[in-house]
Amino acid sequence: MAKVKTKFLCSECGYESPKWLGKCPGCQAWNSMVEETESVVKTQGMKSSLIFTKDKPVSIIDIKSSQEPRVLTNIGELNRVLGGGFVPGSLILVGGDPGIGKSTLLLQTSHALAVKGLKVLYISGEESVSQTRLRADRLNALSSNLFVLCETNLEQIEEAIEQVKPDFLVIDSIQTVYQPSVTSAPGSVAQVRECTGHFMRISKGKGIATVLVGHVTKEGAIAGPRMLEHMVDCVLYFEGERHHTYRLLRAVKNRFGSTNEIGIFEMKEAGLTEVTNPSELFLSERPLGVAGSTVVASMEGTRPVLVELQALVSPTNFPTPRRMSAGIDHNRLALIIAVLEKRNGMFLQNQDVYLNVAGGVKLDEPAVDLAAAVCIASSLKDQPTRPFDVVFGEIGLTGEVRAVSRIEHRVKEAEKLGFKRVIVPEKSLKGWKHPTTIQIIGVNTVKEALAAALG
C-alpha cells in the first residue's frame, strides 16, 4: 500500500522540509512554508524509476537550426510584446490583478486566431460556459473554431485536447486545475507545479501554443512556486490602475523576444483596444505653465514614450523630511536630491519632496534623472518650465549629465508631437543627423540643464 507522507514546501523557491519552519533556509522568506501530503510507493530498485529514451547526445554543429514560424494575431500590441506573435509549442504565463482584463484579452486573442482558421480551445476553471458566452457576446468574439470548456480536472482537459486537437490553448487559470493523483488541494505548490509540468509536455510534444493565466498575490507576484516562471517560455504581466482605463502588458521573461517591450491597451465597453500613440494619451491632461511639471522621453523597448513628470516641494514641520515617489524608484529620487543639494547648492533638508509619473506609468531607466531634477528645482523655486520642452539624460554623482541611448528616436517622437526644444546630454549629439524643425540644447552638467530649462 501507498504510505502517506507529510512535508512542507516553500511557496517561493520550492525548498522541502520534513517540519514547518518560520523562515525558509533556501530563499530566506518568512512564513512561506506550506504543508503538502504525498503518497510514497516502495519500489524494488532504482532502475524502475528511470525513464529510458532512444535519444543520444548530438554535437550542436550537427543540429539543424530552423526558424519557428510565428502565428500573428490582429492585435499589434500583443504581437510586439511577444516578439512577433505566438511561437507554436511555446508555454506563456500571463499574470495580473483580479479584474484587470486578462480573460478579456485572451478571449479577444482566441477569437482573432479562430477567425484566421486556427482551432482554439479555451479552458475556463473559474467561469461556466454560459458566462464565457456572455463575455464573447459583449466582445463580439464568436467563431466556430473557438471551443470552450469549463473543467478543472487535468485528465478531462487532456481528453478534450485529444478530441479538439487545437492549435492554441488557453488555461484560465492554472491555480484552479488539479491532478487527481496528487492529494493536495488545487492551487497548492504541488498541484501548480505538477499541472504546469504536464501542460509543458503537452505543449512541446504536440506543438500547441499554450497560455496559462496565473493569479497574483497581494505583493503583485504570481501565486505559487517561483519555479513556475522558470518552467514557462514567456512571462507577461498585465498592469494598470483601477482608476484609469488603460492597461500595460509587460514581458518580464521571453525566450523568443525582447523583455523590454510593452503593449498599451485601453479598456472600453467593447473590450480592450490598442493605443497606437501612447505619448499623446499620457500628455492629454498635462497642465501648461505650472511649476513642477516636465515632459521626459523614455524608451520602452524599441518604442519612445513621452510622459509627464510632476514634482511637489513643500516645507515640512518634522525633523525628517519625506521623500515619496510614484512610478520612479525611491532610491533614485534620493540620489537626485543629494546631487541637487551637493552640486547645485539647493537646500532641501527642510522640504518634503514628492515625485509622480502622471498616468501611473512606471519608468525604470536612468534617462529620466535629468527631467526629475528639473521638476524638483522648478517646484522649489516656484518657477514653471517652458510648456514645449522635453528633457532627458542620466545624472552622475559628480553632477555631470551622461549620454543615453536611442536619442534620435526620442527627439523624433518629441518633434512629431509638436515640441519646440529638447534638452539632452551633449555627449549624445555625435553621430546622427539633427532635425532642423526642433531646437536641440546639449548640456554637460545639471547646472547647465537647470539654467536652460528655468532660465
Q: Is 62 annotated as a binding residue?
A: no
Task: Retrieve residue 30's grid coordinates.
Answer: 518568512
Report whether 100 belongs to an annotated binding site.
yes
Q: Is 98 annotated as a binding residue?
A: yes
Secondary structure tally for the chain: helices H, strands E: 11, 21
Distance, in Å, from the CA atom of 366 to the CA atom of 144, rounded to the nearest integer, reads 49
Q: Are 193 and 227 in contact (CB under 8 A)?
A: yes
Please check if 143 is assigned to a binding site.
no
Distance set, CA 88 to CA 84, 203, 206, 238 (Å): 12, 8, 9, 22
> In this structure, how many other beta carbons lie within 10 angstroms of the beta carbon of residue 205?
9
Is 197 among the annotated ligand-binding positions? no
3-state DSSP assignment of residue 340: helix
DSSP-derived 3-state class of residue 180? coil
Q: Grid coordinates 494598470 are at which residue? A: 240
Q: Which of 295, 11, 339 is nearest to 175 (CA)?
A: 11
Q: Which three cell numbers stand for residue 259?
A: 523583455
369 appears as a binding residue in the annotation: no
Q: Are 125 and 213 in contact (CB under 8 A)?
A: no
- In the chain, what is the greatest distance between 2 CA atoms, to the nearest angstrom? 84
| Residue 96 marked ligand-binding | yes
319 annotated binding-site participant: no
Of the candidates 352, 329, 327, 349, the one whose C-alpha atom is nearest the C-alpha of residue 338 is 349
Residues making up the binding site: 96-103
Annotated binding site for ATP: 96-103
